[in-house]
Amino acid sequence: MKAVVYKGPRDVVVKNVPDAKIEKATDVLVKITTTNICGSDLHMYEGRTNMEPGRIFGHENLGTVIEIGSAVERVKLGDRVCMPFNIACGFCENCERGLTGFCLIANPGNAGAAYGFAGMGPYSGGQAELLRVPYADFNCLVLPPDAEEKENDYVMLSDIFPTGYHATELAGVQAGDSVVIYGAGPVGLMAAYSSIIKGASKVMVVDMHKDRLALAEKIGAIAVDDSDGSGVEQVMALTAGQGADRGCECVGYQCCDHKGHEVPNLTMNNLVKTVRPTGGIGVVGVFVPEDPHAKDKLAKHGQIAFDFGQFWIKGQHIGTGQANVKAYNRKLCKLIAEGKAKPSFIISHELPLDRAAEAYKNFDARKQGWTKVILKPGQ
Ligand SMILES: NC(=O)c1ccc[n+]([C@@H]2O[C@H](COP(=O)([O-])OP(=O)(O)OC[C@H]3O[C@@H](n4cnc5c(N)ncnc54)[C@H](O)[C@@H]3O)[C@@H](O)[C@H]2O)c1
Ligand SMILES: [Zn+2]
Ligand SMILES: [Zn+2]
């Protein structure tokens, strides 16, 4: 099969590799029809993780079931399925509580597994023609009859729509709240979209990229252009000097100042500044325990200089971590099926798998107009 293989920093290649296959009775084999490139892939692509060369990327996957393990009962041949990026067993202590991003079984010795992901188990990604799906009865979301027609919407259930929603859950967004979101990448836009769906009164999205901010405006959020470094003041002005009720971090450890220099504590401290006293902060942007290639001394060991005193005095609270996609994907799927949500609005490029290298290069450069790339292995 053809697959997107990581060769080394900023180097991926589409090449022939051995076919993915059923390895356990609880697996299914999926023929991938849509697979997205994610901001999380970029940390690995840039060589900022311990991703092993030779591995296949891709954790945002949708396709058709073409083979079924002997112990699979619910999922059927021909089902159109979307897989959460998390691989979860469904029966461990964390899965039982809906915390599938922290499964204790799928990646022994760690909490949490994923397809094609550094440090999250040996599983191959789905930027390929075929994908092995473990614990398939638990992990496959079987899609409604309009799966093909709305494929570009449903594929967002694999990660960024639930992840954006998770950010709002961690922050505690409720109807009527004002929300500030750092990052207008796919995840930040989905956090904004989720806030709007929940009935937030005012949603402010901070970024420096005009094309991404324009998308935020298109869904009814307020674009806060930080290209001159005035984002924090703008948010304070928009909230009568009080700060927003809730805040979401959708950038992660590679966040930059307006001049493009990495400043790992910037978004976290900006959240402390721009969320009101007793407000909630949800952090879904990725932070890593070790970042040997960081320029910042603290960041090398996954540390940031966090304004804890301000945070404490303001009585804020914070929630972090990988999204438990399964906790939300079924309900968000219903919003799509009923025409109440259309997350495909963020897609800028739909390309055949063969063009993955070019797509990585442009998306990594945050090149104007490259908001979200979806790959179509069948084409
Ligand atoms: N927790 C999870 O489950 C989960 C799931 C998916 C993605 N993620 C993470 O979410 C983050 C965002 O993903 P994405 O796909 O949207 O990535 P992306 O890199 O495309 O978007 C990040 C955006 O943040 C902006 N940005 C950089 N510095 C900023 C700053 N100081 N203030 C405001 N905006 C700033 C960039 O201009 C960019 O538009 C990544 O860290 C990714 O790994 C987490
Ligand atoms: Zn992703
Ligand atoms: Zn589990």
Does ligand 1 come within 6 angstroms of the Cβ of 250?
Answer: yes
Q: Check residue 15 and give its pLDDT.
A: 98
Q: Check residue 230 and give its pLDDT.
A: 98
Answer whether residue 379 shows pLDDT above 90.
no
pLDDT band at 324 (very low <50, low <70, confident <90, very high): very high
pLDDT band at 365 (very low <50, low <70, confident <90, very high): very high
Mean pLDDT of 24-48: 97
Does ligand 1 come within 6 angstroms of the Cβ of 159?
Answer: yes
Are 278 and 316 spatial neighbours (Cβ–Cβ below 8 Å)? yes
Rounded distance between C-alpha atoms, residue 140 and residue 38, angstroms: 20
Protein residue with least CA distance to atom 16, ligand 1: 185
Structure token pair of residue 275: 């969320």
Ligand minimally distant from the alpha carbon of residue 106:
3
Ligand minimally distant from the alpha carbon of residue 186:
1
pLDDT for 112-157, tens place per residue?
999 999 999 999 999 999 999 999 999 999 999 999 999 999 999 9
Q: How far is the CA of 112 from the centre of ligand 3 (A)?
A: 8
Answer whether residue 315 shows pLDDT above 90.
yes
Protein residue with least CA distance to atom 43, ligand 1: 40
Answer whether residue 378 shows pLDDT above 90.
no
Protein residue with least CA distance to atom 39, ligand 1: 185
Does ligand 1 come within 6 angstroms of the Cβ of 266?
Answer: yes
Does ligand 1 come within 6 angstroms of the Cβ of 359?
Answer: no
Answer whether residue 56 shows pLDDT above 90.
yes
Task: Collect all residues with Cβ–Cβ distance below 8 Å to 68 and sequence separation of at least 6.
Answer: 22, 28, 29, 75, 76, 77, 136
pLDDT band at 370 (very low <50, low <70, confident <90, very high): very high
pTM score, two decimals? 0.98
Mean pLDDT of 326-336: 98
Q: How far is the CA of 314 from the centre of ligand 2 (A)?
A: 32
Answer whether residue 109 shows pLDDT above 90.
yes
Ligand minimally distant from the alpha carbon of residue 134:
3
Does ligand 1 come within 6 angstroms of the Cβ of 40?
Answer: yes
pLDDT for 229-268, tens place per residue?
999 999 999 999 999 999 999 999 999 999 999 999 999 9
Rounded distance between C-alpha atoms, residue 86 and residue 103, angstroms: 8
% of the chain exceeding 90 in pLDDT: 98
Mean pLDDT of 34-52: 96
Task: Collect all residues with Cβ–Cβ distance below 8 Å to 233 and sequence separation of at least 6.
Answer: none
- Dihedral of CA 212/214/218/220: which sign? positive
Pocket test for ligand 1, best of 194, 230, 251, 320 (most atoms within 8 A of CB): 251
SS (H, E, C) the chain: CEEEEEEECCEEEEEECCCCCCCCCCCEEEEEEEEECCHHHHHHHCCCCCCCCCCECCCCEEEEEEEECCCCCCCCCCCEEEECCEECCCCCHHHHCCCHHHCCCCCCCCCCEECCCCCCCCCCCCCECEEEECCHHHHCEECCCCCCCCHHHHHHHHCHHHHHHHHHHHHCCCCCCEEEEECCCHHHHHHHHHHHHHCCCEEEEEECCHHHHHHHHHCCCEEEECCCCCHHHHHHHHCCCCCEEEEEECCCCCCECCCCCECCCHHHHHHHHHEEEEEEEEECCCCCCCCCCCCCCCHHHCCCCCCHHHHHHCCCEEEECCCCHHHCHHHHHHHHHCCCCCHHHHCCEEEEHHHHHHHHHHHHCCCCCCCCEEEECCC
Ligand minimally distant from the alpha carbon of residue 92:
3
Does ligand 1 come within 6 angstroms of the Cβ of 127?
Answer: no
pLDDT for 257-309, tens place per residue?
999 999 999 999 999 999 999 999 999 999 999 999 898 899 999 999 999 99
Q: Which atom of ligand 1 is nearest to the CA of 43?
A: 43
Helix-helix angle 329-337:160-171, to 10 degrees: 120
